[in-house]
């Protein structure tokens, strides 16, 4: 796992190289909405990219992490099926339904049934390198998704450059990232963690939760500011040192939310001794997100070592897939 995390900066460059060689078919009909279908490590890319580009996109983006599609899907919908293995059951159901509804479909995968489906139906499919855990292939889905939006004229080319700069950012800060990650892993050890972020960085918080789940083998939750100020903040009322609060500080908060962040940290600080603030680096939302993600990825690996567990092991997920395939 550590070698796969270390490869993240290079994966970014490789992903963009793949994207530069892809020439997508132009949709027959205008695109009025976008649906990204994907689960787990494949699906989080859609959440990240849709949040990064939300201030620039003129069409709505919906994420689907189930077997069904929204009723609005039709011939004016772009449906992107993202499945690293190409075998994800829920995603295959969704893109099959999208075909019946006349949507324009693009697949992102390393092969499998999704690649076959796209090729047989003359849909575009972007192939990425396979063979690793999907959560370690995040860079490949991110690069392809941004490129799709750029090729369709939905966002500016500059977003690809912001993504490219992430590689240098991570390399230049590698030592600091690992050092911060070790501190974070020690903080996470033997504690139930509540992760907090700004609402436009929720995808980063979700990614953190997923990594702590899969690599560190711990439970945790996430919430966002300002929404948590209307409910969860009250839940800290009795206080409990069994819990720890991890704040993902992107340092670009709305001025009112910055006040809410500071207030929330002060209140929670009276309820538990365990608070960790992870500060982002970078000059764009994409760079800051990737920086936080890389620190968290390393922290989840160091946590697996502290917990004496195999970061790559996901036996229970494989058992579930096996049972479903036989039913």
Active site members: 214, 230, 321
Q: Where are the beta strands (DSSP E) in 110-156?
A: 124-127
State CA 308 to chain mean position distance. Answer: 26
Write the CB contacts of 199 (distance below 8 Å, at least 6 apart in sequence).
224, 225, 226, 227, 257
Question: Which class for 266: exposed (0-12), middle (13-18), buried (19 or more C-beta within 10 A)?
Answer: exposed
Tokens of 270: 């009276």
325 vs 244: CA distance, rounded Å? 39
27 vs 310: CA distance, rounded Å? 44
Q: Answer whether 102's CB lies under 8 Å from 74's CB.
A: yes
Q: Answer whether 314's CB lies under 8 Å from 133's CB.
A: yes
Q: Answer whether 71's CB lies under 8 Å from 94's CB.
A: no
């Amino acid at each position: 796992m550590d070698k796969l995390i270390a490869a993240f900066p290079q994966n970014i460059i490789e992903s963009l190289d793949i994207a530069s060689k892809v020439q997508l078919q132009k949709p027959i009909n205008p695109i009025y909405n976008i649906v990204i279908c994907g689960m787990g490590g494949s699906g989080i890319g859609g959440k990240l990219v849709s949040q990064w580009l939300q201030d620039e996109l003129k069409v709505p983006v919906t994420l689907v992490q189930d077997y069904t599609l929204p009723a609005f899907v039709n011939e004016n919908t772009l449906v992107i099926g993202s499945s690293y293995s190409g075998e994800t059951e829920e995603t295959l159901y969704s893109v099959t339904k999208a075909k019946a509804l006349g949507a324009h479909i693009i697949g992102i995968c390393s092969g499998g049934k999704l690649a076959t489906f796209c090729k047989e139906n003359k849909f575009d499919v972007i192939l990425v390198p396979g063979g690793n855990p999907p959560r370690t292939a995040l860079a490949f889905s991110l690069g392809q998704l941004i490129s799709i939006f750029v090729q369709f004229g939905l966002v500016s080319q500059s977003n690809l450059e912001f993504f490219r700069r992430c590689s240098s950012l991570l390399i230049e800060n590698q030592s600091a990232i690992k050092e911060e990650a070790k501190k974070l892993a020690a903080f996470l050890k033997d504690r139930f963690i509540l992760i907090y972020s700004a609402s436009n960085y929720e995808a980063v918080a979700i990614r953190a939760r997923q990594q702590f789940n899969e690599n560190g083998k711990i439970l945790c939750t996430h919430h966002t500011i300002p929404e948590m100020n209307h409910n969860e903040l009250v839940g800290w009322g009795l206080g409990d040192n069994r819990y720890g609060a991890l704040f993902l500080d992107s340092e670009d908060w709305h001025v009112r939310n910055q006040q809410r962040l500071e207030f929330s940290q002060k209140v929670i600080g009276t309820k538990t001794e365990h608070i960790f603030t992870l500060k982002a680096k970078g000059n764009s939302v994409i760079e800051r997100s990737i920086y936080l993600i890389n620190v968290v990825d390393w922290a989840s690996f160091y946590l697996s070592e502290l917990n004496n567990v195999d970061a790559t092991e996901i036996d229970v997920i494989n058992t579930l897939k096996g049972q479903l395939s036989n039913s």
